[in-house]
Amino acid sequence: MSTFSYEVFSEVAKRKTFFAAATQLNVTPSAISHSIAGLEKELGFALFIRNRTGVKLTPDGQKILPVVQDILNSEAKLVEEAARINGLNQGRIRIGAFSSVCINWLPDIIQSFKKKYPDIGLSVTQGNFNEVAEQVRLGMLDIGFSALPIKEKLEVLPLHRDPIYCIAPESFNPQAGVVTKDDIKNENFILQQIDYDRDTKRALDTYDVSVNSIQYSIDDASIIAMVESGLGLGILPELALQKLSGNVNHYPFKEHFYRTICLISHFETKQTPSTRAFVNEIQNYIAKRYPQE
């Protein structure tokens, strides 16, 4: 079986349409269809279920996707090791991150890295914590930024404890500058659906905020706008507030809450030299930005 067939299979699984995969690989949709048909014939079972909106993996396709990704990643590592032996700084790194890391950390990290390794290609995929972890597990991303805890069997490097704050309109005045149960007992909260998880949920549960008191918004900027309009309170971590503006205030809770941002990857023995160099760049950046940690 050709490597191209594996690349096609991986890309279709990721993009969920033949057309999107063809665009990414710079081939025709018919070439994608022909490659998938040939791979299915050689393997002896169907890989995708076709529907009106695109395709999805069959149960058998789901089973072999991690195996195919391992093959592709091993080949990429072989090519990169050969380039390193020949004195070249080549390779590619696929990075996954959630929005506040994409906005606040990655521009500086990537700029610094590219000065040292201009020939190494970088791509960034944005997703929530669980999406990033799953794509790293499958080998579709080389490294990812997520938050503890991580259920997948991956190498996990804690990076930063990010304080979580209550976001409130200017008319909101908590006692002693910290938010207590009495301050929010009759308040509604606005947050992203994907954020009602982990440490955000722990904070709300601690303060007896019921699900019926929660409304959902699209993104962090929308939460700020809705809080500013007096529609409720919000909960956002410090990093998400870095480049957001609005006539709102943020206060710590009486009990301090944090999310622990972490870097996830496959174990070091499976990492390419360029990935290890990028991980080192991230560690240096965090050490400089948060010297107290």
Which of 7-11, 207-211, 273-277 reaches the highest mean pLDDT? Answer: 7-11
pLDDT digits (tens, 9 = 90+) for 238-271: 999 988 888 899 999 998 899 999 999 988 767 8
- Print the domain residue range for 183: 159-261
Q: Does the residue 170 lie in any domain?
A: yes
Q: Does the residue 250 lie in any domain?
A: yes
Q: Which of 80, 86, 88 is nearest to 119 (CA)?
A: 88
The reported pLDDT for the residue numbered 95 is: 97
pLDDT digits (tens, 9 = 90+) for 83-129: 777 655 677 899 999 999 999 999 999 999 998 888 889 999 999 99
Q: Looking at residues 65-88, what average pLDDT do you find?
A: 80
Q: Does the residue 116 lie in any domain?
A: no
Q: Does the residue 181 lie in any domain?
A: yes
The reported pLDDT for the residue numbered 196 is: 61
Q: Does the residue 178 lie in any domain?
A: yes
Q: Looking at residues 21-46, what average pLDDT do you find?
A: 89
Q: Does the residue 244 lie in any domain?
A: yes
Write down the mean pLDDT value for the chain.
88
Q: Does the residue 93 lie in any domain?
A: no
Q: Does the residue 89 lie in any domain?
A: no
The reported pLDDT for the residue numbered 86 is: 60
Tell me the CATH number at 239. Answer: 3.40.190.10
The reported pLDDT for the residue numbered 225 is: 92
The reported pLDDT for the residue numbered 1 is: 41
pLDDT digits (tens, 9 = 90+) for 56-66: 999 999 999 99
Q: What percent of the chain clears pLDDT 70, i.e. is strictly above it?
A: 95
The reported pLDDT for the residue numbered 68 is: 93
Our count of domains for the chain comes to 1
